[in-house]
Structure 1
Amino acid sequence: MVLDDEDFAEGTQKLTCPGEPITSSHAFMRGHGTYVDNEEVIASVAGTIERVNKLISVRAIRARYSPEVGDLVVGRITEVQPRRWKVDANSRQDAVLMLSSVNLPGGVQRRKLESDELQMRTFFEEGDLLVAEVQAFFADGVMSLHTRSLRYGKLRNGQLITVPPALIRRLKSHFITLPCGVDLILGLNGYIWVSKHLKQNEQEGEDAFDAEAVYSNRNDDIDDATRAAISRVSNIIRILGAHFVPLTDTLLLDAYEWAVEQEGGVKDLLNSDIGDALVSAVAARS
């Protein structure tokens, strides 16, 4: 495989495998996932070839999430420690959520007291799911999270789907609401939360901060139609992830509309023939 400028036209994607030559042109520079041998740029991992100006890199198909400050992530509490929680965020190391980086009862900006530390498990405990933002990194590379925004915090009323982090594109907003009454949170770490729609006025506004509701472990009542919609969206994401299709808000909406048009059952989507037809239909629409 010898590539030139025309091979990197906008919107094209090329797969490569380890040891495969990408280009021998001196106009390109090597990036992550490549090495140089006999003046040729060669792939060192299996993945998609990406180009930024003259920089050539290979984005691995299967890789741990590499966080950046400001990323939105979905994670699971793995351990409660003094004044902090450890969070599985699908990265090389567990992330850390400090007690000082969460909203607590009695005011968002107040100081954290010893009584708050004694009640940490009333806010988050092992196994809880949450959405947070990457705030900074410690000296050892561990990422520090925060949930100070009222859109962040504990997750309820839904289910978690895992896809390769490489499939999550950076969007203007990673909070997506589908017309079927389902909310999506696309974590850049490959964890996706699919849940019942929460009205906007319940999500925002400091006056609306209700610690008992925000940190509750009890799910709301969910009607059968919403449960079916959540399951359908979850199965669509599983299919697209299995076919390694990058996920965006418009693509997920097109996929859901196609699935509804088929008038089949929720479980039918998991049949290989219907899954292949779904991927083909979405590719044709885009």
Structure 2
Amino acid sequence: MDVDDEDLFETDGMNLTWPGKSLTSAQEYMRGHGTYVDNEEVIASVSGIVERVNKLITVRAVRTRYNPEVGDLVVGRITEVQPRRWKVDGNSRQDAVLMLSSVNLPGGVQRRKVESDELQMRSFFEEGDLLVAEVQAFFGDGTMSLHTRSLSYGKLRNGQLVTVPPILIRRLKSHFISLPCGVDLILGLNGYIWVSKHIKENEREGEEAFDAEAVYSNRNDVIDDSTRLAISRVTNLINVLASRSIPLTDTVLLDAYDWSLEQEGDVKDLLQEDAGDALVATILAKG
């Protein structure tokens, strides 16, 4: 079987396949997860993206739980408050853990946590709160340990959560994206995306500027109608792209937003089938 690597492994390794599709020769490549061998051919056993590491062929399933790595940026939701820790839904196989010692607390970031801090844990995070954090380490059972010690991390407000398959979130230089329409995006590698009102840079500057009351507040700011409309527009665009398995990057999202501004009609019209097809055709043409 002749193998054309350029066809099998497209740019950046993003090549969708489906169960039963022949990928390559079993004599020249080794089978990995998501594949099997039949008649000396490597066959895909799941729908997903073909990946190659040297001679090893694997298929990363489109519909799968997030597989975390140390240093990943994730968006999660608090599910339980326990002694000196919070449990966090991170779209993984089991809830993550955020230790009390791994968050910024009033009175100085590096100070020791005392009993009074443990008594006030619900004033920092409580069930249902959304947060952005970084994967710090793993416990013995594979549970990921998170931290929010940077002022870029912490409780999320003034926005909307969008859920997409984790496989569609590409690893970028920065997962904090500011669109020119006054909307901020946080692309969690776990497939949770936060779309919110823009935060000015000077509001995040300096550890000495840490304001616990503002950082851990549950009250949203006043959001004007134009910003609400922009948030809805970006949310709809993400849903359209994700429904068609388009990987999400800062460039793709900027191109999609520019395209949407040229369209007539209401923001909700972006969810129509013909509009989605036109958007994807435009994105693929630029890609």
Q: Could you state the TM-score of these two structures normalised by the residue count of structure 2?
A: 0.95
**Which digits, 9 at most, give the CA deviation of each residue in 1:84-123, with x for residues without a partner?**
0000000000000000000000000001101100000000
Query: Aligned partners of 1:52, 1:246: CA distance in 2, in Å?
Result: 20
Q: Per the alignment, in what secondary structure is the counterpart of residue 141 of structure 2?
A: coil
- Cα contact 2:9–2:51 (8 A) shared by 1: no
Counterpart code for 1:56:
I
Residue 69 in structure 1 maps to residue 70 in structure 2: yes
Counterpart code for 1:226:
T
- Cα contact 1:76–1:128 (8 A) shared by 2: yes
Corresponding residue number in structure 2 for 1:145: 146
Alignment identity in percent?
78
Query: Aligned partners of 1:15, 1:206: CA distance in 2, in Å?
Result: 44
- 1:144-163 maps to which residues of 2 (within 5 A)? 144-163=145-164
Query: Aligned partners of 1:262, 1:88: CA distance in 2, in Å?
Result: 37
- Cα contact 1:183–1:198 (8 A) shared by 2: yes
Residue 123 in structure 1 maps to residue 124 in structure 2: yes
Gaps of at least 5 residues in structure 1 are: none
Query: Aligned partners of 1:14, 1:169: CA distance in 2, in Å?
Result: 14
- Cα contact 1:25–1:40 (8 A) shared by 2: yes
**Which digits, 9 at most, give the CA deviation of each residue in 1:205-227, with x for residues without a partner?**
11221000000000000111111
Residue 8 in structure 1 maps to residue 8 in structure 2: yes
Corresponding residue number in structure 1 for 2:135: 134
Q: Could you state the TM-score of these two structures normalised by the residue count of structure 1?
A: 0.95
Corresponding residue number in structure 2 for 1:173: 174
- Cα contact 1:72–1:131 (8 A) shared by 2: yes
Corresponding residue number in structure 2 for 1:284: 285
Count residues with an aligned counterpart: 286
Gaps of at least 5 residues in structure 2 are: none
How far did 1:74 drift?
A: 0.2
How far did 1:9 drift?
A: 5.1
Change (3 A) 1:107 1:123: same
**C-alpha RMSD of matched pairs (Å):** 1.6
Corresponding residue number in structure 2 for 1:252: 253
Query: Aligned partners of 1:170, 1:40: CA distance in 2, in Å?
Result: 31
Query: Aligned partners of 1:10, 1:18: CA distance in 2, in Å?
Result: 18
- 1:185-200 maps to which residues of 2 (within 5 A)? 185-200=186-201
- Cα contact 1:181–1:197 (8 A) shared by 2: yes
Q: Which stretch has the larger CA shift, 16-25 or 240-249?
A: 16-25
**Which digits, 9 at most, give the CA deviation of each residue in 1:193-243, with x for residues without a partner?**
000000011123112210000000000001111110000000000100111
Query: Aligned partners of 1:257, 1:6: CA distance in 2, in Å?
Result: 31
Query: Aligned partners of 2:21, 2:33: CA distance in 1, in Å?
Result: 15
- Cα contact 2:9–2:50 (8 A) shared by 1: no
Query: Aligned partners of 1:165, 1:227: CA distance in 2, in Å?
Result: 26
Change (3 A) 1:141 1:2: farther
- Cα contact 1:184–1:195 (8 A) shared by 2: yes
Residue 57 in structure 1 maps to residue 53 in structure 2: no
**Which digits, 9 at most, give the CA deviation of each residue in 1:4-47, with x for residues without a partner?**
32323542744322343322243322222223345432222111
Corresponding residue number in structure 1 for 2:235: 234
Query: Aligned partners of 2:123, 2:222: CA distance in 1, in Å?
Result: 22
